Chain A
């Protein structure tokens, strides 16, 4: 059953991917990217990766379509020369596909417990997590503690990408800096649509609450800072859509966005420095409390919070940068 479901979803994935590449209208391409992301999440779920599927869901449903549309609104929506085949490229691509497919015959089959990837550190993680950290979600344990350096690096990358977007597009200034008529001219929100407005106002608290649940429940079920940050940002994007960007920027001001972006990464790094000051290694949470296991749990809780803050800040700042450019 599982394997048939998987094959089915993967085939759809390939069809949609070809559809994206062949779409003449870029808007169509962006919409198909939405389906691509949904299929990806379903595939991850079928392959027993609940955390990854939740991340794909949070990012794909709430953020990526909105961002791509925000970029597309600033430029013409069509490719100039639709549907021209590039024969050389097609040849190269076909040849490489065949080579990669040939190479896969050496790979272990799907789900083979003897595959090399399952022989290395993974069994150790699965075995030692209950003893050393004592939280049910091994993915969170590996993310926060065993491979904390990695995660810190990724957070810095996200932060850098956010800074890069702000360098290129500029963050909208504080609300006072804009002339009122300038703000009134851009009717870039859905305030006059009553139904989305009422419903959005109703749902935003639930979305934000759910984001907090995902953030702090990450040690017990699928979730964590990355997912929670994306969901929280999606909630604020929804607010920005229905109440106007100006209102949204009054709640989370550009200054606050900066503090969120940098603060999260600093919090993460700060925990590392703190553990060093307390006599442990960098990001060695054992020293944070009397009991090493409690220390580990505290450390993971704090760094996940840092991750969540940075991801929220970066995604929101990127959204506002694109939206402000459109006015």
Chain B
């Protein structure tokens, strides 16, 4: 039962990695990283039950709590460094 969920999550992980590598804009990559983070939380929860040691859920909890900090840091990064010429050229398609 968990295996099905596990496989779905793993396939989604591949899709997210393809998007992160392909871009085209930097925001696509951040989006992919964020999505990958949620999928990791799910994978860890599912695998913890698959292995029958649910006390390792702390790990998923840690990710659920602090993974979005990096996205906020990205927002701040772009506030401080508005548009530099390089990035404007590869804007959104």
Please tell me whether chains A and B touch each other in their complex, using a CB distance cut-off of 8 A.
yes
Chain A positions near chain B (C-beta within 8 angstroms) = 1, 5, 8, 12, 15-16, 19, 25, 27-28, 31-32, 34-35, 38-39, 41-42, 45-46, 50, 53-54, 57-58, 61-62, 65-66, 69-70, 72-73, 76-78, 187-190, 193, 196, 200, 203, 206-207, 210, 214, 217, 221-223, 227, 231, 234-235, 237-238, 241-242, 326
The answer to whether B40 and A65 have CB atoms under 8 Å apart is no
Tell me the bound Cα distance from A221 to B59 in angstroms: 11
The answer to whether A19 and B20 have CB atoms under 8 Å apart is yes
Closest 7 CB pairs of A and B: A65-B70, A62-B66, A66-B73, A38-B40, A31-B29, A234-B66, A61-B67
In the assembled complex, how far is the CB of residue B66 from the closest CB belonging to chain A, in whole angstroms? 4
Other A-B contacts than A54-B58, A61-B37, A61-B63, 8 sampled, CB-CB below 8 A, are A32-B29, A41-B44, A45-B59, A61-B69, A61-B70, A62-B66, A69-B77, A188-B79
The answer to whether B62 and A61 have CB atoms under 8 Å apart is yes
Sample of 5 A–B contacts (CB below 8 Å): A15-B21, A34-B37, A61-B69, A77-B86, A241-B72
The answer to whether B43 and A42 have CB atoms under 8 Å apart is yes
Tell me the bound Cα distance from A260 to B66 in angstroms: 22
In the assembled complex, how far is the CB of residue A327 from the closest CB belonging to chain B, in whole angstroms? 9
B 32-60 binary contact with A (CB < 8 Å = 1; else 0):
11001100100110010010010110110
Which of A77, A193, A241 is within 8 Å of B73, CB to CB? A241
Q: Chain B interface residue count: which class?
A: 35 or more
Tell me the bound Cα distance from A45 to B60 in angstroms: 11
The answer to whether A50 and B79 have CB atoms under 8 Å apart is no
The answer to whether A69 and B74 have CB atoms under 8 Å apart is yes
The answer to whether B58 and A222 have CB atoms under 8 Å apart is yes
In the assembled complex, how far is the CB of residue B39 from the closest CB belonging to chain A, in whole angstroms? 9
Complex interface: chain A residues within 8 A of B75 (CB): 190, 193, 196
Complex interface: chain A residues within 8 A of B93 (CB): none
Q: Which residue of A lies closest to B84 (CB)?
A: A77
In the assembled complex, how far is the CB of residue A214 from the closest CB belonging to chain B, in whole angstroms? 7
Given A5-B47, A190-B79, A222-B59, residue A12 in contact with residue B14 (CB < 8 A): yes
Tell me the bound Cα distance from A279 to B77 in angstroms: 54
The answer to whether B17 and A189 have CB atoms under 8 Å apart is no
The answer to whether B72 and A41 have CB atoms under 8 Å apart is no
Tell me the bound Cα distance from A238 to B6 in angstroms: 31
Which of A42, A78, A222 is within 8 Å of B86, CB to CB? A78
In the assembled complex, how far is the CB of residue A102 from the closest CB belonging to chain B, in whole angstroms? 29
Complex interface: chain B residues within 8 A of A214 (CB): 58, 62
B5 within 8 A of A: no
Query: Which interface residue of B32, B47, B58, B87 has the most chain A CB atoms within 10 A?
Result: B58
Complex interface: chain B residues within 8 A of A16 (CB): 17, 20-21
Tell me the bound Cα distance from A54 to B75 in angstroms: 26
B 13-29 binary contact with A (CB < 8 Å = 1; else 0):
11011001101001001
The answer to whether A238 and B21 have CB atoms under 8 Å apart is no
Q: Which residue of A lies closest to B56 (CB)?
A: A50
The answer to whether A66 and B69 have CB atoms under 8 Å apart is yes
Q: Which residue of B lies closest to A72 (CB)?
A: B77
The answer to whether A190 and B72 have CB atoms under 8 Å apart is yes
Complex interface: chain B residues within 8 A of A217 (CB): 58
The answer to whether B62 and A54 have CB atoms under 8 Å apart is yes
